[in-house]
A and B are shown apart, each in its own frame.
Chain A
Amino acid sequence: MSAAMAAVSPAADTLLNVERLTMRFGGLIAINDVSFVAKRRQITGIIGPNGAGKTTLFNCITGFYKPTVGRLTLHGDAGHTYLLEQMDGFRIGQKARVARTFQNIRLFTGMSVLENLMVAQHNKLMLASGYTVLGLFGWPSFRRAERDARDKAVHWLEKTRLIGVADQPAGSLPYGDQRRLEIARAMCTDPIMLCLDEPAAGLNPRESADLNSLLLSIRDEFGIGLLLIEHDMSVVMGISDHIVVLDYGRKIAEGTPLDIRNDPAVIRAYLGEDGQE
């Protein structure tokens, strides 16, 4: 109902409007008629038991899968809207500016930490370097763009406390550092929406608290919207502004963390039965 209203007149702070999204793989329905709205300057948590369709949802948003049914509207800056389900994978990053991190970390392990962040700024540099031709001859505009890109990378390395390992191969970092690097890399693409797939997985409580403050500062400083899949309840409940609960591909609840905590359907599906593990 709320989705239908949003389609008629999207509220000014609507960032992503998911409408009646369905994803079928043969006979398996991974996502079944899910609608919700993610807002700017908000962290939207997506929770649900294993196999609820959370990662599939991300894969639809970032172009890995073409949804069977449904519409994904991203309201970009300056009134541009993008229908994500119709875009090529790389344009979702380039034009619609949706960035994402993965459950199993996908860094360019053979490249240095700094280079990982530079790849994320490839488009800008490619333009500035006149598609490499001018860049080879040290054209000033390219040098300036390269320096700006480096500054930005350094800024994020400082923010994620990775500046000391900037020149090491990304694959050699400890697990927690790799997680933060992935977030830094995603932020270097200048996203307006950041999708985080279990960023706290495998982190110890201290690192996880760190992550919370990093995500909150991203929300507040850059005014972007975050979509957050997470199993760690201290993270989700602690920082989400809005939570969507999926179970067997359906949306079973939606609301503030407080609502979700007290929702009987959620307790039954999620916290009650699987909460013991």
Chain B
Amino acid sequence: MEWLFELFHQVNYELPKFVQFLIVGLTLGSIYGLIAIGYTMVYGIIGMINFAHGDIYMIGAFQAMIVLLICGTLGISWVPLQLLLMLVVAVALTAAYGWSVERIAYRPLRGTQRLAPLISAIGMSIFLQNYVQLVQGPRPKPVEPVISGGVTVLTRADGFVAQLGYLQIVIVLLTVALMAGFTLLITRTSLGRAQRACEQDMKMASLLGVNVDRTISLTFVMGAGLAAVAGMMVTLYWGNNDFHMGFNAGIKAFTAAVLGGIGSLPGAMLGGVLIGLIEAFWSGYFTAEYKDVAAFSILVLVLIFRPTGLLGRPEVEKV
């Protein structure tokens, strides 16, 4: 009986920390998940890893930051309006970037070797980074927090407080809403059907009168839009944007997409949340310095033991 009491005490002591890591992990996971959807959708439809996607996310973060600064100059201080403006402008402009990248760097190479667009994507990634470094400067840009405060979830005797920030609530809710809308788009609308059809047999879809090029463009636009939302969230959450931020986040989100099963939308979201949680718990219980190692070890293990990912379908030979 004594040990049970002891255990209960221990759990009670550890719980607030655990909850805090959980909250941070879910927030991070939402952001990774939103980026991962862009990878997974593009892979699904044209079988290519869009290595510039992380940088599209970076562009989104910068757009959001710029809108916020403009709001400051114009004296718009009502937070919901600020958020709405950030969302709309960042998504629209970043989607335009996504569209242009596809149009300039990938479409001309379609139907050539598989490797060509991949290399083009890496080039695009380098270009976007350098472009932002040139116009925005190489130093990290701090952003003032817009939403602060939160609710206390648990308090420990020694004063440690597990807090759920309002911003974290906004991030998770917005992600859930976007996911729901997105699932609706893919499963219910004609565009979603066309996307799934192109995914399975592009030539056949084209014979049925589906404009395949446009469908692919719209896929890039959607992916970029979601990445912009992720960028905006990160701007609000960490408020430290630099031109190189897309690289790490991009690779993490890619890991998430592979973990969930590349090509699968729920997989991307699940993978994102898992990577976020792994990172949060690893940083919390072991060391924050090696959190990237943890995430990438997962990538390696998944590629070795379950190449199709958690929710992925086994590769079907295309005839």
Identify the A interface with B (CB < 8 A). Answer: 62-64, 89-94, 99-100, 102, 104, 106, 108-111, 115, 118-123, 125-126, 129, 131-132, 135-136, 146, 185, 189
Contact, CB under 8 Å: A111 / B193: yes
Identify the B interface with A (CB < 8 A). Answer: 181, 184-185, 189-191, 193-194, 196-197, 200-201, 203-212, 319
Contact, CB under 8 Å: B206 / A108: no
Residues of B within 8 A of A91 (CB): 209
Closest to A64 in B: B203
Q: A64-B203, A108-B201 are in contact. Are A122 and B210 (CB under 8 A)?
A: yes
| Residue among A99, A100, A118, A135 having the largest count of chain B Cβ atoms under 10 Å | A135
Residues of B within 8 A of A92 (CB): 207
Nearest chain B CB to A120 CB, angstrom units: 5
Tell me, in angstroms, the Cα distance from A237 to B204 when the chains sit together: 29
Selected from B181, B197, B200, B207, the residue in CB contact (under 8 A) with A89 is: B207
Residues of B within 8 A of A62 (CB): 207
Tell me, in angstroms, the Cα distance from A135 to B186 when the chains sit together: 12
Contact, CB under 8 Å: B200 / A129: no
Q: A93-B208, A104-B319, A189-B208 are in contact. Are A122 and B193 (CB under 8 A)?
A: yes
| Residue among B189, B205, B207 having the largest count of chain A Cβ atoms under 10 Å | B207
Q: A118-B193, A122-B190, A136-B185 are in contact. Are A90 and B200 (CB under 8 A)?
A: no
Residues of A within 8 A of B184 (CB): 136
Residues of A within 8 A of B211 (CB): 90, 94
Tell me, in angstroms, the Cα distance from A94 to B215 when the chains sit together: 15
Q: A109-B200, A111-B196, A122-B194 are in contact. Are A136 and B207 (CB under 8 A)?
A: no
Contact, CB under 8 Å: A89 / B206: yes
Nearest chain A CB to B131 CB, angstrom units: 30
Tell me, in angstroms, the Cα distance from A115 to B194 when the chains sit together: 10
Selected from B193, B201, B210, the residue in CB contact (under 8 A) with A90 is: B210
Contact, CB under 8 Å: B200 / A122: no
Selected from A111, A126, A136, the residue in CB contact (under 8 A) with B197 is: A111
Contact, CB under 8 Å: A118 / B190: yes
Residues of A within 8 A of B210 (CB): 90, 93, 119, 122-123
Nearest chain B CB to A74 CB, angstrom units: 14
Nearest chain A CB to B288 CB, angstrom units: 41
Residues of A within 8 A of B193 (CB): 111, 115, 118-119, 122
Q: A111-B200, A122-B209 are in contact. Are A136 and B181 (CB under 8 A)?
A: yes
Contact, CB under 8 Å: A129 / B190: yes
